[in-house]
Chain A
């Protein structure tokens, strides 16, 4: 019996019992779509987690900090984060770039405007490797010393101290073209009355130039300015020395020029982040990446997904029983028919194939239609879900309640078909084993 005949005969049998076929398929549709929709909620949740974490920064960046002798386990040995250590981290397999970081805080002057800006010193050589995106101007490069790149929100932090409104026309600050002054003197540019210590040595003021403004990233880079770390450390030390003299012996930190408190590591492949992070920790530093957060979030969503998927699986299981039941009923009805077919020379395999085909087709149709139904439900959920607000939590802008990726569609159709075949296996076997003689016996 060739395949075309099996198919046409199977289709004809199913057509003959339209109502029952449709009801059974309906069961599979409900089962498939409940699994798919439940999983799509979990997938959407996962994607939203990921988006959210990504908005906090890059997933393949590890933040390294000096260990202040407080490493768990009680070891008190402090490891220096110096150029040598930086080079060593840079040599770890999978590391694309590494830069030391210096976090500093300065007063900036730009024409009649001033602003308090946190400036981060970085290795200008590798700035372009750290996912900085430029909106205006350019990034820093090796030749830059007193050049500054600003985060996107920095211009809004400038204000005119002479104006009666505190935040006044910040948009008129031109950080790239204006002449910039940078100083540790927080009173710089303020009205005279606010300057308290006019008799002390003046803290040095440095002329710097703005070369670029970063694209808005919705992360911390929006609020920082970036400079060459070597230059930044130099002017910081100079300023600190002047301040120390003012405050008579109060030490504002004596950092040697090649020792850092922090560093940032970019890993080539996101999958290696964990590994590199461990290696850095083994060197004696603290290492942190957003992958840590993502991982714990994903663990949470995985268990939520498992629960949701489980709920969906129950209905598919019921649908599977429905298929088995339908097929067994069908065999009872067709007992004589099967018997006649056997007597006329139908091979066992042909009979089995016929029944498996019918069961598989019920599963397949249920799967296809179930996907269609799920897509519709998903669309409605996404439309209604957004207006419902943060029902499932973690709903930023543009996030979805339900996401059905292509692999899920294909997998669920394949799974529904498989369920059909598995459910049909027992009935098919039963049909195959049916005694032809019993079947054709006249009453």
Chain B
């Protein structure tokens, strides 16, 4: 599947299906998914709305449980974990970037970024250091004490990115990260995310319906009607500016 390369895979999805019950009707969101994502890869899950791509992301993040099949992340079957176990698992291994940023409106940029460290029980001094560093990396060194409503969409998403990377997780999920942004900002944000991920050899999984976004990935997984239609490696042209 991974074109012959033997690389340690960080996520292994096997025979996963997800069926919702709406009243008496069954809605099949995912039919039978098999997918392996190697460590350090930037993987894009591309599909139209209703294709099941978001469901797949939720399953991988442990926000939902599959109807059948198994999801193994870093050697652990997450579909068998308790809710608290999943919370701790996300704390340690997963970062999130949302389409609508999902910053806490009452907290400053710095506090928002350090939130994942708060849940880990990291002391204030250390988490502020770490959060500052990340905010500087995303170019918001001067806006640390701004509240989300004092920032533009692009700036808010930078805060969101800093928050996703602050705990240095192995996997980062980005759900339509540029869905609410204009095209110029989209480019900036995408470059920022992919660069950060590559710097630390982190696995980045981007879910989108936007083909342009998919170009930033190493691999594109096409999802259609709850099935993987095809998996395709992107061809990187040296010096190409997207």
Contact = CB atoms under 8 A, between A and B. Distances in A.
A344 B96 contact: yes
A235 interface: no
A347 B87 contact: yes
Contacts of B120: 345
B118 A343 contact: no
Nearest to B63: A437
| 6 closest residue pairs by CB, A with B | A345-B91, A345-B90, A340-B102, A347-B87, A437-B63, A345-B119
B64 A343 contact: no
Nearest to A15: B106
Contacts of A442: 98-100
A9 B88 CA distance: 20
A4 B127 CA distance: 14
A345 B94 contact: yes
B121 interface: yes
B87 A348 contact: yes
A12 interface: yes
The main secondary structure of chain B at its interface with chain A is helix
Interface in B59-114: 61, 63-64, 83-84, 87-92, 94, 96, 98-100, 102, 104, 106
Interface of B: 58, 61, 63-64, 83-84, 87-92, 94, 96, 98-100, 102, 104, 106, 115-116, 118-121, 124, 163
A341 B119 contact: yes
The main secondary structure of chain A at its interface with chain B is helix
Interface string A336-374: 110111111111111000000000000000000000000
A341 B115 contact: yes
A170 interface: no
A343 B99 contact: no
B90 A344 contact: yes
Contacts of A349: 84
Given A336-B102, A349-B84, A440-B98, A344 B63 contact: no
Nearest to A345: B91
B58 A437 contact: yes
A16 B58 contact: no
Contacts of A9: 118
A342 B63 CA distance: 9
A350 B119 contact: yes
A441 to B, nearest CB: 9
A132 B106 CA distance: 72
